[in-house]
Structure 1
Amino acid sequence: MRRSLPLLLVLGLLAALVGAFVIMPASTVTEPPRAAEATRTVAPLRVAIVGDSLSAGRSRFLGNGLDDESWMSYANGDGIEFVGGWARAGATPDEMAAAVQPIPDVDVLVILAGTNAVRTGRTMAQETGAYERIVRVIRPKRVLVSSIPPYRAHAEAALRYGEALRRFVGERGWEWIDPWAIARDGDDWAEGFSTDGTHPAGPAQYEVLGESFRRLILETRMLPSALS
């Protein structure tokens, strides 16, 4: 009997350990909440754009697809999904409003328009309805209206238009963005960014512009919806 006592003690300890493991609370073996949250996938923002040659690309019409002189080529992906829009070289806001078509489930609409209104002598007051029509057709959750870049041939008129556009955007409760800060030196283009005084010089400059737009678009995840 004395020899069997140690064996009985060992067997008893083993039984106790097995029992403790079996009744261990489930919460002690589940994935920590923070680790579970880290594995969730965030859906990309569905982004549409409306504009002129500054968005249309090398082919001068966005309908031909993105190319190396489309800023969206460099903003697209990794959290941003380009879902379409309308842009054509030489188009005024009024012409954009007449051509744009509905796009379902747009999270962010980016409007870059006004340079050709300045070129043709139109004022912001004459184009306000065009911006409103574009937004009504697309019906996005958020609206980003971009500043226009320096326009060397009509510098003063471009500045006046841009100031009026910014006020208008604020009155509508939309978001004003300035992706051109990286391309501007005072009221003119930064050295080397533009050769014609109207457009970025080439693919390298459009890539810089696209990265600027990308950062501003992704920041909209923290903003309230633009439309009720």
Structure 2
Amino acid sequence: MRRFLTFGSAFVVLVTLLLAGDVLPVFDPPQAEPRAADRARAEPLRVAVVGDSLSAGRSLFLGNGLDDESWMTYAEGDGIEFVGGWARSGALPGQMASAVQPIAGVDVLVILAGTNAVRTGKTMAEEATYYDQIASTIRPGAVLVSAIPPYRTHEPAALAYNTALRAFTEDHGWMWADPWRGARDGDDWVEGFSVDGMHPAGPEQYAVLGESFRRIILQIRPMLSARG
């Protein structure tokens, strides 16, 4: 399964050293052909999303389309094309793995999942196989796994889950990102960013999250181009 997710030894080294901040490192492919590079720049990255209420939007189900509380609303366009996926409020990684369907030609799969696992007392070790299943179903060019946000009423468990999720991601040679840096104050939320201590407060906050994801996703393009 991992053959379609590995970019070569040089890329794996980069992944291991990822993200002192919230964005991925950019590098220029040393032998990219100009025509291929121009073509890659002209075509938007096809991005799929799998997750829970943090991605599902105001309607609580991503299948109803993007809205003002869907972070992808603010990430798509100008180089990013949203091509679908699956996200529902309250979903656990296992439910996502069962529900998601194959999508042809996905460049980047974004998985933002785990908050509900924490809510129900599950550990990352119990959920790990479902992340593999999601990636195997979509078969993208790159897998981008996101940190879960602060969780005020389950803070220690959320921190432990994030630590284990990052280790799992890097072990797979996938990409890890933390789009929540602008929303986080220590281990809690920035004042006003969340009302319930679990979700962004509203459209303004989802726009900040979407812009953060946008920066991260666009920096994956050179890595995909390097693969040819």
TM-score normalised to the size of structure 2?
Answer: 0.81
Alignment match, 1:206: 206
Q: What RMSD in Å do the two structures reach over aligned CA positions?
A: 2.2
Matched, 1:117 2:80: no
Which letter maps to 2:172?
Answer: R
Alignment match, 1:186: 186
Alignment match, 1:196: 196
The alpha-carbon distance between structure 1 residues 190 and 102, as it changes in their structure 2 partners (threshold 3 A), is: same
Offset from partner CA, 1:55-97 (integer Å, 9 cap, x none): 0000000000000000000001000000000000000111100
The alpha-carbon distance between structure 1 residues 71 and 124, as it changes in their structure 2 partners (threshold 3 A), is: same
Offset from partner CA, 1:103-149 (integer Å, 9 cap, x none): 00000000000000000111000011000000000000000000000
Compute the displacement of 1:221 (Å).
0.8
The alpha-carbon distance between structure 1 residues 62 and 39, as it changes in their structure 2 partners (threshold 3 A), is: closer
Alignment match, 1:57: 57
- Alpha-carbon separation, structure 1, partners of 2:114 and 2:43: 32
Alignment match, 2:217: 217
Amino-acid identity (%): 69
Alignment match, 1:157: 157
- Alpha-carbon separation, structure 1, partners of 2:139 and 2:206: 27
- Alpha-carbon separation, structure 2, partners of 1:145 and 1:138: 14
- Alpha-carbon separation, structure 2, partners of 1:209 and 1:179: 6
- Alpha-carbon separation, structure 1, partners of 2:224 and 2:128: 23
Compute the displacement of 1:38 (Å).
8.0
- Alpha-carbon separation, structure 1, partners of 2:170 and 2:40: 35
Compute the displacement of 1:223 (Å).
1.9
Which letter maps to 1:219?
Answer: Q
- Alpha-carbon separation, structure 1, partners of 2:40 and 2:205: 35
Structure 2 counterparts to residues 28-107 of structure 1, below 5 A: 42-107=42-107
TM-score normalised to the size of structure 1?
Answer: 0.81
Alignment match, 2:23: none
Q: What runs of 5+ residues in structure 1 fail to find an aligned partner? A: 1-33
- Alpha-carbon separation, structure 2, partners of 1:38 and 1:137: 30
More deviation, 38-47/125-134: 38-47
| 3-state DSSP of counterpart to 2:136 | helix
Offset from partner CA, 1:149-172 (integer Å, 9 cap, x none): 000010000000000000000000
Which letter maps to 1:188?
Answer: D
Compute the displacement of 1:42 (Å).
1.2
Q: Which has the larger radius of gyration?
A: 1
- Alpha-carbon separation, structure 1, partners of 2:158 and 2:188: 11
Alignment match, 1:10: none
Compute the displacement of 1:222 (Å).
2.0
